[in-house]
């Protein structure tokens, strides 16, 4: 088969209006998918090697202690899809802190209906950061926001009971 044959074959595979109308899914058909996505997370283990998938599944099932069960689907290159059965488990795992496996960070992302798992970006993780030896004059929320923004996006500042950014005894 030469190049012209391949071009002709590819051209014959395209969908044209003549062959029939292109239709979109009706909203009620999408509801099941949206419900599933609302209780799903996609995670990637940021490792420089392939991890042991079965060990990963066993460890997460043990440490996450979900109430109603979880389905873990294996993707490619240390990527996994987690399907939870209830919102409480989903929320607790997403906000419960940094997760790791074999000392490698697990980055969790909420999937959306218009993205493919292969094209998802696993380039952000939330960390609690403490800044030490800050002068008392600078222990304010605004200065905490400023200092935190030098590292990355600031999600929350713990002002403590005295409304200073940090206090120690």
CA 158 from chain center: how many Å?
A: 24
- Is residue 58 domain-shared with residue 35, that is, in the same domain? yes
Residue 44 maps to a domain: yes
- pTM tops 0.85, yes or no: no
pLDDT at 167: 42
CA 9, CA 13: separation in Å to the nearest integer?
7
Residue 6 maps to a domain: no
Residue 70 maps to a domain: yes
- Is residue 83 domain-shared with residue 37, that is, in the same domain? yes
Residue 36 maps to a domain: yes
- Is residue 78 domain-shared with residue 38, that is, in the same domain? yes
CB contact at 8 A, 64 and 129: no
Say how many domains are in the chain.
2
- Is residue 92 domain-shared with residue 151, that is, in the same domain? no
Residue 99 maps to a domain: yes
Per-residue pLDDT of the chain (169 residues; tens, 9 = 90+): 666 776 666 666 655 555 666 667 677 777 777 777 889 999 999 999 999 999 999 999 999 999 988 999 988 889 999 999 999 999 999 998 789 999 999 999 998 766 677 788 888 888 888 888 889 998 888 998 999 899 888 888 887 655 545 444 3
Given strand 104-109, what is the order of strands in its sheet?
70-74, 79-84, 40-45, 104-109, 99-101
CA 126, CA 146: separation in Å to the nearest integer?
17
- Is residue 110 domain-shared with residue 148, that is, in the same domain? no
CA 120 from chain center: how many Å?
A: 8
For residue 167, the enclosing domain spans: 126-169
Sorted by sequence, the CB contacts under 8 Å of residue 144 that are 6+ apart come out as 131, 154, 157, 159, 165, 166
pLDDT digit string, tens, across residues 101-123: 999 999 999 987 666 777 888 88
Residue 57 maps to a domain: yes
CB contact at 8 A, 166 and 131: yes
- Is residue 106 domain-shared with residue 130, that is, in the same domain? no
Helix (H, G, I), strand (E, B) or coil at 88: helix
CATH number, position 51: 3.30.70.330
- Is residue 159 domain-shared with residue 103, that is, in the same domain? no
Task: Mark out the alpha helices in 73-140 (DSSP H runs).
Answer: 87-95
Residue 159 maps to a domain: yes
- Is residue 110 domain-shared with residue 131, that is, in the same domain? no
């Amino acid at each position: 088969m030469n190049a012209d044959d391949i071009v002709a074959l590819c051209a014959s595979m395209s969908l044209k209006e003549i062959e029939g109308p292109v239709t979109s899914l009706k909203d009620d058909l999408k509801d099941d998918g949206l419900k599933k996505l609302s209780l799903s997370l996609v995670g990637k283990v940021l490792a420089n090697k392939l991890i042991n998938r079965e060990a990963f599944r066993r460890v997460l099932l043990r440490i996450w202690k979900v109430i109603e069960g979880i389905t873990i689907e294996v993707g490619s290159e240390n990527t996994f899809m987690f399907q939870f059965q209830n919102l409480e488990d989903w929320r607790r795992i997403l906000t419960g802190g940094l997760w790791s496996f074999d000392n490698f960070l697990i980055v969790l992302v909420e999937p959306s209906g218009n993205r493919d798992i292969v094209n998802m970006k696993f380039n952000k993780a939330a960390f609690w950061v403490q800044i030490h030896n800050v002068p008392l004059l600078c222990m304010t929320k605004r200065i905490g926001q400023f200092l935190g923004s030098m590292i990355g996006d600031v999600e929350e500042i713990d002002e403590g009971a005295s409304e200073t950014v940090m206090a120690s005894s």
